[in-house]
């Protein structure tokens, strides 16, 4: 009966999709397309962890090799073999954390293959991604060098599927111990005197699938065994990350939390989205119509419900919120581009709006969600950067991350938005998704996504507890849904100044273009 009452209540007030308790979204029947937003500037409490804007690099296609690693003898400008243009571009979006070496690759990766003189390293088949030979030129030392060049934290995914407890134990000791042990001395022999700080270590990856096809009961026991030997050395403190569910697999989340909650510091969920295709025919990244656009918007909005249900389970076993939720793989997934390498796809305005929705939802759940990692950083899936030999371009999704970086470390502000529906065929979703934050200097940032590809939207924004002195805005949009950047035209989509903003008392009025991502900066 309780569920019936909830359904009736939802129908009565016209809310077909609701964000978290901190970001309420209501669909109205307003015919003049006016969006009413209230930002509660005086009620913020939770911090948005910078790691929510994290990234993921797997040994897959050209993500690592050519994306990052070109080798010290390459004519592409590099620093110790790591290409300089990619690092410089990524530093502009303030990458807080980078997950490596996978992905499915992680549970086939044996770390000792990737240390020592490069000409002596093992050549192994990449069994998951094209059966290509990985010569292990990019290993632990190269990855940690990359993190230092980016100024980001390292998130290591350990091998549970095909690895041993001893192997994982030794890797942690090799990286983090300042002792005189054999592992620490082996690291010194390979050129690194002082240990690295490794704040995050994943105990396996997708162990319900490519990480061993385990049941949750079996994985929970294996997890507890492996994590026992992931030790803290020399002042390093590791956040131990358990493998959580695939999307909405609540049974997996429930069992692993129930059996292993006291041995974990975080648990993951993976959530990929596409248009109206299936996993064998995911659809083109660039050739699509409004049917596929709408399907992606609807599917992306589903992340809010998945997170809310995962948090409900986590609250049952961890009411004090000691365990964090990491969405450490997420993003759009299309068919690979014709002639491209494994999982190489283009990136359009559709992907950018989807990314904005994801990030707004993650912000709204920042009391539990402490890290997310978009898949992937270069040349694979929803990439920030595409490379072709010496050339490099950034994608629309890169620009969303650059615009949203203002939320990193800021205080989440509760919001209430009433907006018309975006309708397609017989379905509808809210036309606007929002989150807001206040930084340490008092500046309020409001990030908005207009999901409607056809209609601009007038927005009236009321700031509770703040009378603004100045408001500026940036907008990312395009003339067509499938617009994208190419090597011939790299700046087809890039942020521009949002014009026409007015202020009266504590009310901001602005028009949000169709199919756009907007960030407003409000000065006190």
Distance CA 318, CA 258 (A): 9
As to burial, measured by CB atoms within 10 angstroms (0-12 exposed, 13-18 middle, 19+ buried), residue 226 is: buried
Question: What angle is formed at CA 194 by the lines to CA 188 and CA 199, rounded to 5 degrees?
Answer: 120
Instruction: Determine the straight-line distance between the first and last CA of the chain, rounded to whole angstroms.
Output: 48
The residue to which tokens 């009736």 are assigned: 8
Distances (CA, A) of 314 to 35, 51, 319: 34, 20, 7
**Of residues 206, 237, 292, 402, which has the active-site annotation?**
206
**206 part of the active site:** yes
> Helix, strand, or coil here: 373?
strand
Joined tokens for residue 187: 């690291």
- Backbone torsions φ then ψ of 359, nearest 5 degrees: -65, -35
Residue pair 88/82 in contact by the 8 Å Cβ criterion? no
In the chain, what's the furthest Cα-to-Cα distance? 72
Pairing of strands 34-40, 324-332: unpaired
Question: Which residue in 142, 173, 329, 402 is the catalytic one?
Answer: 329
Q: Which uninterrupted H or E stretch holds 273?
A: strand 266-273
* H or E stretch covering 351: helix 349-364
Task: Clarify whether 237 is annotated catalytic.
Answer: no
User: Distance between CA 6 and CA 67 in Å, rounded?
Assistant: 49
User: Where in the sequence numbering do the catalytic residues fall?
Assistant: 206, 329
């Amino acid at each position: 009966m309780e569920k019936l009452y909830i359904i009736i209540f939802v129908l009565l007030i016209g809310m077909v999709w609701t964000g978290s308790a901190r970001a309420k979204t209501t669909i109205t029947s307003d015919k003049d397309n006016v969006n009413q937003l209230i930002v509660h500037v005086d009620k913020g409490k939770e911090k948005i962890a910078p790691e929510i804007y994290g990234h993921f690099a797997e040994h897959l296609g050209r993500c690592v090799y050519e994306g990052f690693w070109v080798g010290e003898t390459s004519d592409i400008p590099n620093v110790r073999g790591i290409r300089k243009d990619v690092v410089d571009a990524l530093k502009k979006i303030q990458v807080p954390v980078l997950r490596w070496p996978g992905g499915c690759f992680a549970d086939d990766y044996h770390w000792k293959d990737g240390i020592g003189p490069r000409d002596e390293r093992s050549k192994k088949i990449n069994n998951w991604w094209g059966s290509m030979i990985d010569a292990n030129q990019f290993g632990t030392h190269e990855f940690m060098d990359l993190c230092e060049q980016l100024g980001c934290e390292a998130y290591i995914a350990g091998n549970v599927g095909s690895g041993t407890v001893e192997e994982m134990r030794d890797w942690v000791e090799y990286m983090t111990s300042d002792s005189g042990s054999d592992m620490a001395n082996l690291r010194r022999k390979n050129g690194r005197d002082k240990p690295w700080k490794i704040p995050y270590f994943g105990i396996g990856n997708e162990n319900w699938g490519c990480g061993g096809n385990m049941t949750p009961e079996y994985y929970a026991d294996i997890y507890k065994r492996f994590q026992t030997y992931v030790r803290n050395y020399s002042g390093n403190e590791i956040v131990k990350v358990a493998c959580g569910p695939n999307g909405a697999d609540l049974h997996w989340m429930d069992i692993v939390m129930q059996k292993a909650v006291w041995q974990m510091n975080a648990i993951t969920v993976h959530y990929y989205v596409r248009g109206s295709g299936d996993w064998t025919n995911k659809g083109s990244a660039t050739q699509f119509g409004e049917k596929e656009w709408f399907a992606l918007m609807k599917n992306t909005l589903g992340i809010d419900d998945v997170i809310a249900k995962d948090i409900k389970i986590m609250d049952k076993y961890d009411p004090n919120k000691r365990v964090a939720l990491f969405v450490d793989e997420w993003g759009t997934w299309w068919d690979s581009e014709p002639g491209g390498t494994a999982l190489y796809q283009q990136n359009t305005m559709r992907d950018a709006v989807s990314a904005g929705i994801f990030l707004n939802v993650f912000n709204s759940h920042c009391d539990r969600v402490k890290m997310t990692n978009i898949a992937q950083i270069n040349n694979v899936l929803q990439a920030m950067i595409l490379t072709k030999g010496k050339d490099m371009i950034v994608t629309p999704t890169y620009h969303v991350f650059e615009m949203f970086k203002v939320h990193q470390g800021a205080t989440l502000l509760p919001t209430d938005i009433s907006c018309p529906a975006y309708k397609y065929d017989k379905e509808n979703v809210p036309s606007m998704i929002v989150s807001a934050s206040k930084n340490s200097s008092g500046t309020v940032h409001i990030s908005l996504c207009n999901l409607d590809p056809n209609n601009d939207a007038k927005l009236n924004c009321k700031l509770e507890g703040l009378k603004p002195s100045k408001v500026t805005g940036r907008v990312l949009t395009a003339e067509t849904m499938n617009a994208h950047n190419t090597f011939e035209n790299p700046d087809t989509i890039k942020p521009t100044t949002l014009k026409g903003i007015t202020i009266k008392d504590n009310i901001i009025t602005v028009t949000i273009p169709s199919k756009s991502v907007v960030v407003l900066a409000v000065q006190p």
